[in-house]
Structure 1
Amino acid sequence: MTMYAGHVLRNAGHLERRHSVRRGMRLRLAAACLGGMAALSAPWVTASADDKSLNVAVSIPPLHWMVQKLAGDYVDITTLVTPGNSPDTYDPTPRQVAALSSVSLYLGIGVPFEQVWLPRLEQNHPQMQVAHLEEGIKTRYFGAGEAHHHDHDEHEGHDEHEGNDEHEGHADHGEHEGHEAHVGHDEHEEGQGEADPHLWLDPERMMKMIERTSDVLEARIPEHADDIKANEQQLLASLDALDNEIRQQLAPYQGRNFMIFHPSFGYFADRYQLEQHAIETSGREPTPREMAELIERAKQEKIGTIFVSGQFSQTAAKRIASSLNAKVAVLDPLAEDYIDNLRQASLALSKGFELTDSQ
């Protein structure tokens, strides 16, 4: 079962203020709904009397894919954010919050809306287990060309973003079990800028989340532990092969950069020694001056492809592409078929570099 969330659009001026008021009303109403459910509902259980599957909630489609691959018919999955919507700006409605009353396990990943909503869910439903898959995984931070902002009343973005020297993913991924201890989100030091939440777009980090999820699922439904463990090993092998495939495909372009509207592919870029440059600046489209600078930069670098994703406006990207006589291509951070999506992203980037080299 998948829940569909509405996409919150950023507006300027009085539209933005009106949007903030509406969002505040939704937050208060949903919070009241949470409190009401906490008072009225019975203790949470692993499965309902009529359905023996474990009810699990996740934030984004790639996690739905992961849990489905690991546990199959043993789980019933609720996905909060679907393609076309953004985990940066998502606000659960009271109806969606109420639907979580049947969920006994939430697999968090640290996307922006969870930082607001998970503490409330945990407080009002202490019997619901929340597993934070992102904990202990090394975090990258948005650099100067990747300014990012989350439009939540209670989650303000940083104005300053410093560069990131961490490229730990460049080592052979075959050693992923032997890496040094990873730093989690909570160990974010002053001056590092804002943490990039798109962990899943690095196959190595996704492998770590698969291992953690497998452990959690095996503990919750031990009668299926052997099947889950076998599925885990098969899934890890598939991602290991995918990582090798992408590494070979992008090896000729190491050190190259690509232009993308929203800075969601930083982990992917770091893993394969590329660099992303974002059109979006602190959650907004570029000003005319910034647009002119982006166009001039793209001309100097002979960029032939501008990348977009379905969760954000494509207007600025299309204007830049039109000025350059360049193509617009899609890099989707939220497509559910994880392996196929990263394979398609690698292919799209390769074609973009080839187009640049042919000019």
Structure 2
Amino acid sequence: MNKITLLILCLGISLGFQACNSKQNKVDNKLISVSILPQKYFIERIAGNDFKVNVLIPPGASPASYEPTPRQMQEMSQSSLYLKIGHIPFEKAWLGKLLNGKSKIKSIDISEGIEFIKGPEFRHGDHVHEGGIDPHVWSSPKTAKQLVANTFKVLVELAPEKKQEYTMNYMKLMTDINIMDKGAEAIFDQMPSKAFMIYHPALSYIARDYGLTQISIEHDGKAPSPAHMKEMLDLAKKNNIKIVFLQKQFNIENAKTIAAEIDAELIQIDPLSENWLTEMNRILSYLKR
């Protein structure tokens, strides 16, 4: 191989690496990364298909323990924006790593303006809920309205030429949420018994917002001890609870045991569903029974 041929070959390899790196580092202004599927629902209801949404926690995975795949991290590196929920364990564990060295990615907390439920700091499995803040703000129509409002504001800033279209879509979505909200208020105001039981306390904001009592089988983020199980059974009988909720991402056995003991129906729910409005209406319909 002569010197000229070798030089051309080396130059070709170098340009190939540069093109590859350029592609990896290129930011896609139409790509938005989010933590959970309900955020994708909100974005698409407002902006249609104007943006590609990279959801880091896939269907069936738990925000408490999920680790992003290399492909997700690559898509994250190409995103122009990360919309975080704030305070969920996944973001606490991974957001710093995902954003490290990626100065072009803007991170925005869409939970700004929400009044959080706070309590003493507690451990849940292998993580700690920081400052005792309950992160499940997407799991109530009232707090979800603020998430939607903040998302709308961001999308209009990204595509100001679409403001009129996005405003109309936003108002339609808010109308759907308001109908659900007002319907829930009307029913719960008339209910004599307002307690419900759930394995993992994912519906704390629904309980607060509509004057209900959430009884959690999980204790301090851990599976219940025999003593706590007995306490839960006594509470369930005292409150005449006939439904036990179990979030899709959690083990069924302890919830099954309690449901059988009190002759209650075990209902699996998924507040992390991509079809957020349908699932929230479903959850509220069970709570109204």
Q: Same fold (TM over 0.5)?
A: yes
Tell me the CA shift for residue 307 of structure 1. 1.2
Tell me the distance in 1 between the aligned counterparts of 2:282 and 2:157. 34
Alpha carbons of structure 1 residues 157 and 222: separation in structure 2 relative to 1, 3 Å: closer
Tell me the distance in 2 between the aligned counterparts of 1:148 and 1:243. 30
Alpha carbons of structure 1 residues 42 and 306: separation in structure 2 relative to 1, 3 Å: closer
Partner of 2:58: 82
Aligned partners of 1:254 and 1:273 also within 8 Å: no
Tell me the CA shift for residue 204 of structure 1. 2.3
Partner of 2:117: 140
1:66 counterpart = 2:42: yes
Alpha carbons of structure 1 residues 254 and 116: separation in structure 2 relative to 1, 3 Å: farther
Partner of 1:321: 259
Unaligned runs of 5+ in 1: 1-36, 47-53, 159-192, 352-359
1:245 counterpart = 2:245: no
The superposition leaves residues 111-157 of structure 1 with CA deviations (integer Å, 9 ceiling, x where unpaired) of: 211122222333321101211101232111258xxx963445xx534
Match of 2:102 among 118, 121, 125: 125
Aligned partners of 1:254 and 1:272 also within 8 Å: no
Partner of 1:207: 145
Aligned partners of 1:246 and 1:343 also within 8 Å: no
- What are the residue-to-residue correspondences of 1:99-248 with 2, within 5 Å? 99-110=75-86, 111-142=88-119, 149-152=123-126, 155-157=127-129, 194-248=132-186
Tell me the CA shift for residue 255 of structure 1. 6.3
Alpha carbons of structure 1 residues 349 and 148: separation in structure 2 relative to 1, 3 Å: farther
Alpha carbons of structure 1 residues 157 and 209: separation in structure 2 relative to 1, 3 Å: closer
The superposition leaves residues 138-191 of structure 1 with CA deviations (integer Å, 9 ceiling, x where unpaired) of: 111258xxx963445xx5347xxxxxxxxxxxxxxxxxxxxxxxxxxxxxxxxx
Alpha carbons of structure 1 residues 194 and 255: separation in structure 2 relative to 1, 3 Å: farther
| Counterpart AA for 1:126 | S
Aligned partners of 2:89 and 2:128 also within 8 Å: no
Partner of 1:44: 27
Aligned partners of 1:255 and 1:275 also within 8 Å: no
Tell me the distance in 1 between the aligned counterparts of 2:95 and 2:192. 38
| Counterpart AA for 2:25 | A
Aligned partners of 2:110 and 2:150 also within 8 Å: yes
The alignment yields a C-alpha RMSD, in angstroms, of 2.3
The superposition leaves residues 64-108 of structure 1 with CA deviations (integer Å, 9 ceiling, x where unpaired) of: 110010111101111122332111222213332123233211111
Which has a greater percent of strand? 2
Larger Rg, first or second structure (1 or 2):
2
Partner of 1:97: 73
Tell me the CA shift for residue 39 of structure 1. 10
Alpha carbons of structure 1 residues 137 and 301: separation in structure 2 relative to 1, 3 Å: closer
1:276 counterpart = 2:214: yes
Alpha carbons of structure 1 residues 314 and 148: separation in structure 2 relative to 1, 3 Å: farther
| Counterpart AA for 2:94 | W
Number of residue equivalences:
269
Aligned partners of 1:262 and 1:308 also within 8 Å: yes
Tell me the CA shift for residue 254 of structure 1. 6.3
SS at match of 2:218: coil
**Identity value in percent:** 30
Tell me the distance in 1 between the aligned counterparts of 2:257 and 2:21. 49
Question: Which moved further from structure 2: 308-317 or 208-217?
Answer: 208-217
Aligned partners of 2:188 and 2:194 also within 8 Å: no
SS at match of 1:124: coil
The superposition leaves residues 234-266 of structure 1 with CA deviations (integer Å, 9 ceiling, x where unpaired) of: 211221111111212222226621111000000
Aligned partners of 1:59 and 1:79 also within 8 Å: yes
Tell me the distance in 2 between the aligned counterparts of 1:65 and 1:269. 23
Tell me the distance in 1 between the aligned counterparts of 2:128 and 2:222. 14
Tell me the CA shift for residue 329 of structure 1. 1.4
Partner of 1:266: 204
The TM-score, its normalising length taken from structure 2, stands at 0.85
